[in-house]
Amino acid sequence: MRILDETGPTPASVVTEHVALPDSRPTDRAFVRLNMITSVDGGTAVAGMSGGLGNRDDHAVFAALRAGADGVLVGLGTVLAEHYHAPDPPLQLYVVSDTADVSGAPDLFASGRATLVLPTRVGPVPDGVPELRAGDGEFVDLDAVTTALAGQVLVAEGGPTLAGLLAAHGLVDEFFVTIAPRVIAGDSARVAHGPEASPALWELEHGFVDDDGFLFLRYCRQ
């Protein structure tokens, strides 16, 4: 474990300069990097928002991962709770939802930078909103989504339900987790929530602690 200091690299610089895409990444689906934050007692939100857990280094890692991605995979609940804005081109948001109601974020979806990802059973989306249909069941088929976006690098930003589904389907290739030195109790969901995933071991590639005591970890599938 490396302890960061003022003269050493920052977590964001490690992401930017040293996290190369592996040669063995899948070619038949998107390469998915999951980025989440948790308190030391396992909570993922303060007053309903994960942003209250982070610090400047966590925010910088968030930006660095986006800078190395083609798109962002995120649930509609997270988009609304965290007040997402349209990303800079060419980055595209892929917003997973079970409803075509985007009235909670009209400016975002009017920008054309957010694609609504829906199962086929859901009715039509508002005019001008890009859409991706995946699966004819009750929920979005994430295997079909990542297949449709094959060749792209996606950073998945949660929330916990989406993270859990991605993990359960074996679609997470790298997991970036920030552990905030906070104890928040409460009843917020854990980082990945939902169906059980394979308990296979992952490999720790990087670990850093910043001067605020935030722990930054990067795990890769073995």
For residue 140, pLDDT beyond 60: yes
- The length of the chain in residues reads 222
Residue 13's alpha-carbon distances to 51, 105, 174, 204, 205, in angstroms, are: 21, 32, 17, 18, 15
Q: Which has the minimum average pLDDT: 21-35, 130-144, 154-168?
A: 21-35
Q: How far apart are CA 64 and CA 222, in angstroms?
A: 24
pLDDT at 19: 64
Structure tokens at 55: 């610090």
Find which of 17-26, 66-75, 187-196 is predicted with most confidence, using mean pLDDT. 66-75
Q: What strands lie across the sheet with 2-3, from one edge to the other?
A: 2-3, 202-209, 215-221, 174-180, 31-39, 153-156, 71-75, 92-96, 114-118, 131-133
Q: How far apart are CA 67 and CA 13, in angstroms?
A: 12
Instruction: Respond yes or no on whether the N-terminal peptide bond of residue 159 is cis (omega within 30° of 0).
Output: yes
pLDDT at 3: 47
pTM listed for this prediction: 0.91
Closest CA to 126 of 162, 146, 97, 157: 97
